[in-house]
Chain A
Amino acid sequence: MSACITVTIDGQQAAVEPGTTILEAARGLGIRIPTMCHVSGIEPASSCFICAVAIEGRRTFAPACAMPVAEGMVVWTNSPDVRAARKMALELLLSDHAGECVAPCAAQCPAALDIPGFVYGIAAGDNRRSMETLAERLALPGSLGRICPRLCESQCRRSELDGGLAIGALHRYAADLNRASYVPKRLESTGKSVAIIGAGPAGLAAAYYLLQKGHDCTLFDAYPLPGGMLRYGIPAYRLPKDALDAEIDVITRLGARFSMGQRWGEQFTLAGLRKAHSAVFVAIGAQRAQSLRCEGEEYALAGLKFLESVATGQPPVLGDDVVVVGGGNTAMDCARSAVRLGVQKVSILYRRSRQEMPCPMEEVEGAEAEGVRIELFVAPVRLEKRGSGLTLICRRMTLGEPDASGRRRPVEVQGSDFAIGCSSVIAAIGQSVEHSLAEREGLAVTAWGIAADARTLATNLPGVFAGGDAVLGADLAVRAVAAGRMAAASIHQYLNGQLVTGEPITAGIAMRPVDDAERAAIFRGIERTARTHAPEIPLARRLTSFDEIEARLPEEDAVREARRCLTCGCRKADCCLMRSLAAEYDVDVYRFAGARRRFSQDLSHPEVIYEPGKCIACDVCVRIAAAAGEELGLTLAGRGFDVAVAVPFSQPLSEGLRIAAKRCAEACPTGAIALGSARACDSCALGSERPTRLAPARSDELSGFGAGKLPF
């Protein structure tokens, strides 16, 4: 062979044979250049430009996969300019990507739970696997299965067809079946200890994940029992205490130490904890109830206090006629608890319309069914004590311009005051973080709570992390549980002396908007079946006891419901090159949103599924098919923006790929061609499992492309 060529790549010199590409030369030096359309052994397509590198003296970027080295060439593979080009290439590719990395339900979940994953387990009869999937993202799956407001269900694709999947009920089903038996493994002890202030959902979740990593955890809490708001803020008819105890029991079994009845500032200080422990997680929640903010507010009961007293079995004397002020979950909980305590007349006052109520509509309907009267457009003006009773002076409201939250601002109607006589008033109009103590101990704070980095949850003090309601202000339990998990990841990094970056970020793209043709492609061949509802106890029992209202789904129902899942999301979500690069380059997937490919599916092939909307037109599959000697094979059809991979003569994929389907699926850098089996990622390096859509819901006559016919 002729003499070697000397090139300089990122400052390192290499001597390579003529004809070597920059990519090969760089790999020889141990320099990684990302690629998408490049497949070893196939002539480079050099189309995606992810492998773009800068060569000194050239204005244009060169595709490293195809550009041969030349004597004296100086190459930069990771300069800011090169990275910017790669980032833009990814953003452009993603702007023309019709598909979704994760299902819309999972994308909406604050805890990023793999919903199709656990639902698949139930449908397949593998409940243990469902539990593993749940536990991966949620420390308290049983509790959340009951009380989560289920943002996911509203996003369910199926809600556009025949009603969204009962994700919450399935969630609880899987958790309840396995709660007692499933205890995750604990790694060998690291000898490091973490102090967690607050044994609420965030604190428990942090402990759950930190313990698994082998760290010791001590939870400090002012209350006698752990659980926080889950125990003291949520009535037993929604979350029975034994269900909560079962979950805490798992954490205890993992080795958590509870130091109960310890109040911050009284029994311990942050400074003290920092000395005694390697790290501290502050998860104090939002404990301060907001007062009525009107004259005579001292006569009103705080909603949180009321719920706490109910939970501890010492309910106050309410009288016959209770007025609850507020429209959130706490207000509903107070009103419905009051009903259960035997109060004759319970009413709720809310200053906006029913649509603006922050709690789920089922809660409102449940309260109404139990006899709670809801007065809308009413705000308290003054509370007066008259003898044994109270008089609440109220004012009518009307809706004005939308405010910062997007809800229309209530406006007072002058001269509309009226009086309501009652025995007690419960104020359930919000809660906030009691952060004066934290501030005194040197933690930075914001208007809502303790200041912490959104991704790592690190505070301004080294080794101190904060999350949950303590940071966000009063929020959903599921977000608190997610925050605990995130904090655990950060604290683990901190304890290992790594750079604290938080949980690995994943990029994800969703189809938006979905047009009619795409919807038709998604629902093609899907049978309409109604949503399954969980059984409820009779109303009479609801009125008199704190028994849990909803029961667990019977097995038959659960499996039937799970089988309704369309298993949205991408089969290659965990091994998609484009997705992992998108995360690596921190792209804004919607930056160049514009006209894009249509989502469609070719399900004709027994082994693989083709979704042209996810194709990046790199034609790797076309060349694999040609090299394999396929009779029909694949071809690039059309040109320009509309270029697409298609089977010649409008044939279905089953005709086009008779030999090379598996190889094409493996080589495809995105999820455009994916193995149709349940373990789509078995063959790839990242090797993770993704469920596929279950067979029964589809009829067999389907073949060919979904949306629009491609030429030939």
Chain B
Amino acid sequence: MNWLARTAAAAIAALVAILLVDYAVATRRVPRDDRLIKDLQQQTKVDAAFAPKLAAEQNRVTVVRLDRKRRDKVVAWALIVAAAVFIASSKRLMGRTAVPPAPIRDVPRAPGDRKRAIAAIQPQAPPPLDLGFVDAAVARLGRGKESAIPLLQAIQAHYRYLPDEALRRVCELTEITPAEISGTSSFYSRFRRSPAGEHVVRVCHGTACHVSGARQITDELRRYLAIPDGADTDLERRFTLDEVACLGCCSLAPVLIVDSHTAGKLTPATACEALQAFERQMGATPASMKIRRGLVPEGTGITVHDEGAGSLWAVRLGTVEPVPDALEASRLSRLMRGAVEIRVGLASCGVASGAEPVRDVLEREARQAGALGLVKKVGCNGMCHREPIVEVVEADGRTALYGNVTTEAARLIARRHIRPRHFHTRVRWGIESLRAPALETPPDRNGSPYLSKQRRIVLENCGEIDPLDTGAYAARGGYEALALCLAGGASRRLSPERVIAAISDSGLRGRGGAGFPTGRKWALGRAQPGTVKYVICNGDEGDPGAFMDRLVLESDPHRVLEGLAIAAYAIGAAEGYLYIRAEYPVAVRHVREAIRQAEQHGFLGAGILGSDFSLRLEVREGAGAFVCGEETALILSLEGKRGMPKLRPPYPVERGFRGRPTVINNVETLACVPWIIRHGAEAFAACGTETSKGTKVFSLAGKINRGGLIEVPMGITIREMVEDIGGGIKNGRRFKAVQLGGPSGGCIPERLADTPIDYEALARTGAIMGSGGLVVMDDRDCMVEIARFFLKFTQSESCGKCTFCRIGTKRMLEILERLCGGTGRRDDLQKLEELADYVSRASLCGLGQTAPNPVLTTLRYFRDEYEAHLDGRCPAGRCPALIRYRITDNCIGCTLCAQACPAGAITDRPYEKHEVDDKLCTRCDMCRQACQDDAVEVV
């Protein structure tokens, strides 16, 4: 409150006092005067002598009363004026309710309170071990050295960590030596050496989540769970908090997964609410939950889909976006139409956004309408920014695409598009719909700018078919390409040579990053001597910010299997592996199921489609090592060893898995193969540029309006992707740069946004095509900090073999951390450049060779920002050590910022201008995001 408001308040008080006194005096005096005059009138009637006295008295009373009225009038006006001044000066005028949302949580922020709260929790000892499981696991998974990682995964799943005793038992029972099991288990980040809590909370720290505040969420969860410093599990061993590189749900950033349940679009507060909801659903209310409940308010903006144990669980958080095209006023007229298919996207991001309850509602309605089987579970069509998505296919082939569907909206969609079989249901729905709000017709999918600029080859089935319906895949031309290779008379069959020629002619290049011509790789594979060869599908998509492989594997697994089968046919392999990240449980499940189905239908297994070609495929899960995306490391990982890349030559195609010729292709590359065989090499080569043919899938994420997975023809410019497909930058901010290709890629500034998507053109900018992560950044993103983020990732993922990668990247990271911390040294930039040069040239594998790219490109295009950091400034206002938060005079005292502050750095004084305590402030930016009056600024 300012002085004016204070003066006005004082004046109001004084004036009200005057009025009260006047009133009090009047209430006593008026009846007395009235009685006196009455008496005098009586007496005057008796004796005229009293007349003058009566006149005088009447005169006096009149004067007094008139005086008072006049005074009251003045006082009342003054009161009005004072009130107006008070309201105006305390900013009450704008008509917004600034009443503080009632009582602020009672958070023990002070260290002492926190200590007491933590002390109240009883630490629990880990349970005793029963090694019977190990024996069973060895019997199931085999005794060979290659079983090491599957065994470790099984042991960890069972015990929630890797007990020494269990590992020793493994060594007793198998060929695996103590040195091997110790080395392997300590290499992969998914393996724990200390007992984990009952539930594992994995917070994604991918690029998109990083720029959306994953750090703050982790910090707040640590506070909420009262996890002691330096530990990752709370004292009760209920929750283990794990930071993971990327969960591949970038469009839902920031994301966390509890066990297998996903929650997205989080804020620090809603992250805690999500855990609370989870705990409630698990049914337990241990003492700690009571303690914790004191730490955050009871959830309000959170709904939990509770469908009994084991069901997937989803939270809708924060402000639920209104379904944009739906729920507008219109009437029942469309009831007579009938849909032929209703598709619900149930890939990871759909599920994370709450697609399962939507599906349940649709199924219930369909059941009511007697139209069972109408609702199809499909994968993702890539429009992750609008999940959950429901697409309705009408009888005439037109589609209606609904985004951000809530359960209520789902009911309306069902009522609108399903034509009930029974007359009584039709009448009942008709009557009900009179009261319900109706839906507006959404645009046809081709009318959406998001989809119209795309060209779908890899994703042609994604979001349109049930991923686990072989028939649906076959109905869209699936396994036709494989049949072309195998079935029919010898004259019509495509020989392996012709397959390789077709792939070579199509110009297909490896989509995993380096862009090696696929046809040439296969030809080399075929030319190798020997009868035992292997094909491997590389699904170890580790780039933070990329999730195309996950989506393809989840939404169209048969396509990848077909591609892999054709590759095996081309090179003459009878055995193949799909190496898939363990962070993608849905993908693993779908691929395993798809293999089973394909074997059932004769597309895989012995004597495929009646030919003499046999192929046995197996899924192997990764264990958390980015470097295993590198071919030689991947092979070592499959062999159960530490994934430390080896010098090439020899290339895997000469000597790979088990020392035999091995062809390794990326998921997306393989997904292109059936299309090429089916449509011909020319059709594929017709799309794209001189050296880069076909299409490329990108994960579009970051500060963009429409994010998700997109497939574009090669040659499209970055600007088209950002502005036309992505719909431009969020919140009308300035487009600053895109980060392309993840940690191996680079930052391309806005002024080069007209660069076409082409392997060579992108390489000229210093970035690389990479696996296709495309993170868009606005003017609030600090390029030095982004470089630091990526380098931190590669540094932590370095296998530790090569000197330059192991120590050089560490020193580079230290320099970047110094710069971000404002303690840069004069020669740091020069040292950084020198290190970057040699690290990229003196490392064995792609990880080390490309690790400096984010640094080199940002240094090249944003050197001024580096220099500003040397001067102790962060132009984007992002680096915590170089900025301060301040509350301006715009503050209306609404306390929203104080409630949002996780560090308790803002004391809530309602109606007064707030202040940030610089010492407590963690620069998490929550206050600035919470403020609705632009009263928080960064200085």
Which chain A residues have a beta carbon within 8 Å of chain B's beta carbons? 44-50, 52, 59-63, 66-68, 84-85, 88-89, 92-93, 95-96, 592, 594-595, 616-617, 622, 625-626, 630-643, 646, 648-650, 711-712
Contact = CB atoms under 8 A, between A and B. Distances in A.
Contacts of A636: 183, 186-187, 642, 644, 800
Given A89-B842, A95-B811, A49 B803 contact: yes
Interface stretch (B135-143, B518-526, B744-752, B790-798): B790-798
Given A592-B811, A635-B180, A47 B649 contact: no
Nearest to A623: B179
A657 to B, nearest CB: 11
A62 B649 CA distance: 11
Contacts of B843: 60
Contacts of A648: 178-179, 181-182
Given A594-B814, A649-B168, A638 B803 contact: no
A417 to B, nearest CB: 47
Contact of B182 (A62, A84, A95, A646): A646
A648 B181 CA distance: 8
A29 to B, nearest CB: 22
B649 A68 contact: yes
B647 A712 contact: no
Contacts of B841: 59-61, 85
B803 A712 contact: no
A641 B167 contact: no
B182 A63 contact: no
A342 B602 CA distance: 116
B800 A632 contact: no
Please give me the 5 A-B residue pairs with the lowest Cβ-Cβ distance, nearest first.
A643-B800, A648-B182, A648-B178, A712-B182, A635-B183
A93 B647 contact: no
Contacts of A711: 182, 186, 193
Given A49-B842, A595-B814, A639 B799 contact: yes
Contacts of B795: 640-641
Contacts of B644: 636
A649 B187 CA distance: 15
A632 B179 contact: yes
A94 to B, nearest CB: 9
Given A49-B802, A89-B803, A632 B178 contact: yes
B186 A88 contact: no
Interface residues on B, range: 35 or more
A639 B798 contact: yes
Interface in B179-213: 179-183, 185-187, 193
Contacts of B849: 60
Contact of A92 (B178, B642, B804, B840): B804
A637 B808 CA distance: 20
Contact of B164 (A62, A67, A642, A712): A712
Interface string B792-827: 000111111111101110110010000000000000
Of B177, B178, B180, the most chain A CB neighbours within 10 A belong to B178
A92 B808 contact: yes
A14 B797 CA distance: 40
B838 interface: yes
Contacts of B834: 88
A92 B807 contact: yes
Interface of B: 164, 167-168, 177-183, 185-187, 193, 625, 642, 644, 646-647, 649, 795-804, 806-808, 810-811, 814, 831, 834-835, 838, 840-844, 849
Contacts of A630: 179
Contacts of A48: 803
B182 A635 contact: yes
Nearest to B627: A639
Given A63-B647, A63-B844, A85-B842, A639 B168 contact: no
A60 B842 contact: yes
Contacts of A49: 802-804, 842
Contact of B186 (A50, A60, A712): A712
Contacts of A62: 647
A632 B807 CA distance: 28
A67 B646 CA distance: 11
B804 A89 contact: yes
A46 B800 contact: no
A626 B182 CA distance: 13
24 contacts: A60-B842, A63-B647, A85-B841, A88-B808, A88-B838, A92-B807, A93-B803, A96-B810, A592-B835, A594-B814, A595-B810, A617-B801, A630-B179, A633-B177, A636-B642, A638-B187, A639-B186, A640-B796, A641-B798, A641-B807, A648-B182, A649-B168, A711-B186, A712-B182
B838 A85 contact: yes
Contacts of B798: 639-641
Contacts of B182: 635, 637, 646, 648-649, 711-712
A533 B175 CA distance: 62
Contact of A47 (B797, B803, B835, B838): B803
A96 B796 contact: no
A95 B803 CA distance: 11
Given A635-B186, A637-B186, A640-B796, 11 more contacts: A49-B803, A60-B843, A88-B834, A93-B803, A626-B179, A632-B179, A638-B800, A643-B806, A649-B182, A711-B182, A712-B193
Nearest to B177: A633
Of B185, B803, B831, B835, the most chain A CB neighbours within 10 A belong to B803
B767 to A, nearest CB: 17
B811 A712 contact: no
Contacts of A47: 801-803
Contacts of A641: 795, 798, 800, 806-807, 810
Nearest to B171: A648
B179 to A, nearest CB: 4
A278 to B, nearest CB: 45
A67 B801 CA distance: 16
Nearest to B805: A640
Nearest to A634: B179
B694 to A, nearest CB: 27
